[in-house]
């Protein structure tokens, strides 16, 4: 039976066949805010979570509580629906507006009045536009709040819910800060040496049938950001003017690409480091990737022009990258051909996952169960651990002393965090703080 969730509870009661389930489904369906564990609503779902204008509540349909074949008497309803009525903050007493008031309606009305809870009498099956005049006959049941609805045609539901939820607490829709972060566009920077295919990749990602592309002038005079929406998620490609501006002499261009990468990484959440498959990972690729790491930005390594290499080279190439870029071991590697538009969907999926990790928060409870299992250098002690921020995920270890961990120990801790919680594609920042013990407090 209903769990006490702490949410205000609305209970729908009425004799059989008045339309309780129809109303229940209409309210939950209309609000699209079912949070139950199975998708969709079945006929025998009797409890669901709903929201009306930021006022969340729990809705119970007693139609599912009283068996359909039960001989209907008020006592029966009371027995079966007792739990629901006990937890009710608001009761919707549903009757059939197309039939005469029955003795069962009258008996139930009396029982409900005695509960001393707020009851709204909802007259159902009033399927016409001018509904009010049809409800006057029902005032004789002794409720001052009488409203008409058509559950089937979803008429009058808004007014009914306005009324029923009027005293319920309004909540902010989740944490607005976090929510804003989730809804904000993912800022992507395409970086790499000259001629690796950056502008071809940009075109493949924002061009063609993906469309909804609009170049928007950025804050700096000649920078242009490009927006695109893929599967409901908005992406902004930062400084595409820079990507599209062609290099001058080769040497100039090479240096320029490094300078540009450094600047653009700061404006982005995620850097796409483009490597030319025909050249393999080279020194300046590592330099550019290193900036993303230092700036604490998420990273996806894109091996472009893969159409020019045989497929069976993939493993070898991947190993090559891992060997050259040891410090970027968290970055996923995507093989693609920007020119042939191959691997672009996979790249978008990686970006979405990597961003999720970049923005991921682990609860303090989970972290401290994890800390219990960490064994560090023998002379260091961890008291507890928190994650104060995201983008990038930043963890603080509260220890006996504030001095940094040995490099290899720090790496080990970060790897353990990755292994336990999964942070593919994002750097992890680890900070050490001395816990203020009782001695410090006295000093």
Residues near ligand GTP (CB under 6 A): 14, 16-22, 63, 68, 124-125, 127, 150-153, 192, 194-200, 243, 246-247, 253, 257, 304-305, 307-308, 337-339
Of 124 and 426, nearer to ligand GTP (C-beta) is 124
Of 192 and 281, nearer to ligand GTP (C-beta) is 192
> Minimal distance in Å, beta carbon 159 to ligand GTP?
14
> Minimal distance in Å, beta carbon 324 to ligand GTP?
19
Give all strands of the β-sheet with 214-217 in edge-to-edge order: 214-217, 224-230, 233-237, 186-191, 270-276, 298-304, 333-335
63 marked among binding-site residues: yes
283 marked among binding-site residues: no
304 marked among binding-site residues: yes
Of 58 and 200, nearer to ligand GTP (C-beta) is 200
Of 143 and 306, nearer to ligand GTP (C-beta) is 306
> Minimal distance in Å, beta carbon 153 to ligand GTP?
6
CA trace torsion 246, 251, 255, 260 (10° rounding): 0
Of 194 and 425, nearer to ligand GTP (C-beta) is 194
195 marked among binding-site residues: yes
198 marked among binding-site residues: yes
365 marked among binding-site residues: no
> Minimal distance in Å, beta carbon 231 to ligand GTP?
23
Of 224 and 253, nearer to ligand GTP (C-beta) is 253
> Minimal distance in Å, beta carbon 17 to ligand GTP?
5
> Minimal distance in Å, beta carbon 84 to ligand GTP?
13
241 marked among binding-site residues: yes
> Minimal distance in Å, beta carbon 131 to ligand GTP?
11
351 marked among binding-site residues: no
Of 257 and 426, nearer to ligand GTP (C-beta) is 257
127 marked among binding-site residues: yes
Which residues belong to the annotated binding site for GTP? 14-21, 61-65, 124-127, 192-199, 239-243, 304-307
Which residues belong to the annotated binding site? 14-21, 61-65, 124-127, 192-199, 239-243, 304-307
């Amino acid at each position: 039976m209903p769990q006490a969730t702490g949410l205000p509870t609305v209970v729908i009661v009425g004799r059989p066949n008045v339309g309780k389930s129809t109303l229940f489904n209409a309210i939950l369906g209309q609000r699209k805010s079912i949070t139950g564990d199975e998708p969709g609503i079945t006929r025998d779902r009797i409890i669901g979570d709903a929201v009306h204008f930021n006022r969340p509540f729990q809705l119970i349909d007693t139609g599912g509580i009283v068996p359909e074949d039960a001989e209907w008497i008020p006592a029966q309803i009371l027995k079966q629906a007792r739990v629901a009525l006990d937890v009710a903050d608001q009761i919707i007493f549903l009757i059939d507006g197309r039939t005469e008031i029955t003795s069962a309606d009258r008996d139930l009305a009396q029982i409900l009045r005695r509960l001393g809870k707020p009851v709204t009498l909802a007259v159902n099956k009033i399927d016409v536009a001018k509904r009010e005049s049809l409800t006057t006959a029902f005032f004789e049941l002794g409720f001052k709040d009488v409203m008409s609805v058509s559950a089937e045609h979803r008429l009058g539901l808004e007014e009914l819910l306005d009324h029923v939820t009027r005293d319920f607490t309004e909540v902010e829709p989740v944490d607005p800060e976090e929510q804003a972060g989730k809804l904000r566009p993912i800022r992507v920077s395409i970086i790499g040496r000259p001629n690796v295919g950056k502008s071809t990749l940009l075109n493949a990602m924002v061009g063609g049938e993906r469309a909804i592309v609009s170049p928007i002038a950025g804050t700096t005079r000649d920078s242009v950001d490009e927006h695109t929406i893929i599967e409901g998620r908005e992406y902004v490609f930062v400084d595409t003017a820079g990507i599209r501006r062609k290099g001058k002499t080769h040497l100039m261009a090479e240096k320029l690409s490094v300078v540009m990468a450094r600047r653009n990484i700061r404006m982005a959440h995620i850097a796409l480091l483009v490597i030319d498959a025909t050249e393999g990972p080279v020194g300046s690729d590592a330099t550019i990737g290193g900036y993303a790491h230092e700036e604490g930005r998420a990273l996806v390594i894109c091996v472009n022009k893969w159409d020019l290499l045989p497929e069976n080279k993939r493993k070898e190439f991947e190993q090559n990258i891992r060997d050259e870029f040891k410090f970027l071991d968290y970055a996923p590697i995507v093989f693609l051909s920007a020119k042939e538009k191959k691997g672009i969907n996979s790249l978008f999926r990686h970006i979405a996952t990597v961003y999720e990790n970049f923005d991921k928060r682990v609860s303090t409870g989970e972290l401290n169960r994890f800390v219990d299992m960490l064994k560090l250098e023998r002379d260091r002690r961890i008291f507890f651990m928190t994650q104060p921020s995201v983008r990038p995920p930043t963890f603080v270890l509260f220890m006996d002393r504030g001095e940094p961990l040995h490099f290899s120990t720090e790496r080990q801790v970060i790897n353990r965090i990755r292994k336990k919680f999964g942070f593919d594609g994002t750097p992890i920042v680890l900070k050490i703080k001395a816990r203020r013990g009782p001695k410090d407090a006295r000093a």
